[in-house]
Amino acid sequence: MGASSDTILAFCRGLGTKMRAFFEIVTPEAGSSWAFLDRKLPSGIPFEWHYHPEYELVLTLNSLGHRYVGNDVDIYSDRDLVLIGPGVPHSWCSHAPIDESQPHVALVCWFTQEWVDNLSSDFPETAGIKALLAKAPQGVKFGEAAQNLATPLIQEMRSCGPARRFVLLLEVFNILLQDNDTRLLANLPHLPLSNLAGNERMMRVLNYIHEHYSDQVRVDDLADLACTSPSALHRMFRRHARDTILNYLVRLRIGRACSMLIGTSKPVSVISSDVGYRSLSLFNRQFVRLKGLTPLQFRRHHVAQLKRATPAKLSMDRPKVSTRRRNTAAQTEIVETSV
C-alpha cells in the first residue's frame, strides 16, 4: 500500500550505471493527500542522487551505510530517521544489512508545502509542524528516543489504509515536535522556503542541472530554459534554492565525489574528472572548502568509520559504482556568461 507504481518506478529510475541525479515524481495513491512508499531492497540501497519539490521523511531499517543530504555525509544504521526539504539532493548508499536474511527497508513519507499550509490553516493545533519543517532545507536527523517512538508508528503505515495512515503521521509529527536531540545536516543557508513545486521554470532549471552537473553548465542555457535573463535567473534561483547556481552545482559535484571516494577505489584524479572538473587543484580546493578535509583524508576517515561500525563485515565488497568514464572534453566548470 502507499505510493503508486509510477512513483515507485520514478523512485528507482536510473539504478543502473549512470549514477546521475534525477527529478523524482511523487504520486499519492487514490484517497490520500500525501504519499507513502514501502521500499524493500534485498540487494542493498544504491547511491542515487535525486530531488523533488516535496518534503520527505525517511525511516531506514535493517541497513548500515552512508547518508548523503546536500553536502552532508554521515554514517547511518538501523532506525535512522531523517527529514529532508524540497529541492535538496540526497541519497542513501548501503554497505551491509543488519540481518543478512532480511532486505534493506526504506519507509518514506512525502508531502507538499501546500499540504502543510492547508493542514495548519484548517487545524490550528498542527501549526507547530511548520516550525519543524522550517529546518528541513538543511535536513534534520532525529534523536534516538524520537526514532524509537516513531518507528512502530511508521511501520504500522505499511498495513493500513489512507485514513489510519494520516492519523499515524500526525502522531509521528507530535513525537518529532518534542524531540530535543535533533541535528541539522547540510550546511545550507537557512532561508524561508518558496513554493518550489509551483514554479515550473525553476523545476526545469533544477532538472537540467541535476542531469548535466558533470558536464558544461552555462548560465545562458539555464536562462533560456527559464525564459528569463541571466540576471533574473540568478535572483530566482537564489530565492527558490536558497543558494547561488555555482554553489549548488559545486555541492552536487562534491556530493557525488564523496560517494565515489567511499564506494570505490578510484584515484582522486579520476573521480575529479568523472564529476566534471578539468582542474584537479580546483576540485581539491572546493572539496576542502566544503568538507574540511582533503579527498584522501575524507576517504580514510569514512572508510575507517564504516569498518568500526561493521567489524564482522569487513570482507564485504564495496557498493558497485560504474567505472564508465565520460568524455573529459565535455567536463568543464560552470561558465558565467552574464552577471
Neighbours of 181 (CB within 10 A): 11
Q: Taking the domains of the chain in order of start, what are their residue ranges? A: 5-184, 199-330
Q: Are 229 and 63 contacting, i.e. CB atoms less than 8 angstroms apart?
A: no
Max Cα–Cα distance, the chain, nearest Å = 56
CATH code at 5-184:
2.60.120.10
Q: Write out pLDDT tens, residues 271-322.
A: 999 999 999 999 999 999 988 999 999 999 988 887 777 644 433 333 443 3
Out of 3.30.70.260, 1.10.10.10, 3.40.50.300, 1.10.10.60, select the CATH number for domain 199-330. Answer: 1.10.10.60
DSSP character string of 145-183: HHHHHHHHHHHHGGGS-HHHHHHHHHHHHHHHHT-S--E
First vs last C-alpha separation in the chain: 49
Q: Tell me how far CA of residue 159 lies from CA of 36, 153, 154, 267, 275, in angstroms.
A: 11, 11, 10, 46, 41
List pLDDT tens digits, range 258-282.
888 988 899 999 999 999 999 999 9
Return per-residue pLDDT of the chain as tens, 339 residues. Answer: 455 333 333 333 333 334 444 445 567 777 889 999 999 999 999 888 777 888 999 999 999 999 988 778 888 999 999 999 887 888 898 988 999 999 999 999 999 888 999 998 899 999 899 888 888 877 899 999 999 999 999 999 999 999 999 999 999 999 999 999 999 887 655 444 455 555 788 888 888 888 888 888 999 999 999 999 999 999 988 887 778 999 889 988 998 898 889 888 999 999 999 999 999 999 999 999 988 999 999 999 988 887 777 644 433 333 443 333 333 333 334 443 332
Q: DSSP states of 44-86 as a string?
A: ------EE-SSEEEEEEES-EEEEEETTEEEEE-TTEEEEE-T
- Beta carbons of 47 and 93 less than 8 angstroms apart: yes
Three-state secondary-structure class, residue 7: helix
Strands 22-23, 90-96: pairing kind: unpaired
> Do the domains 5-184 and 199-330 sit in the same CATH topology, yes or no?
no
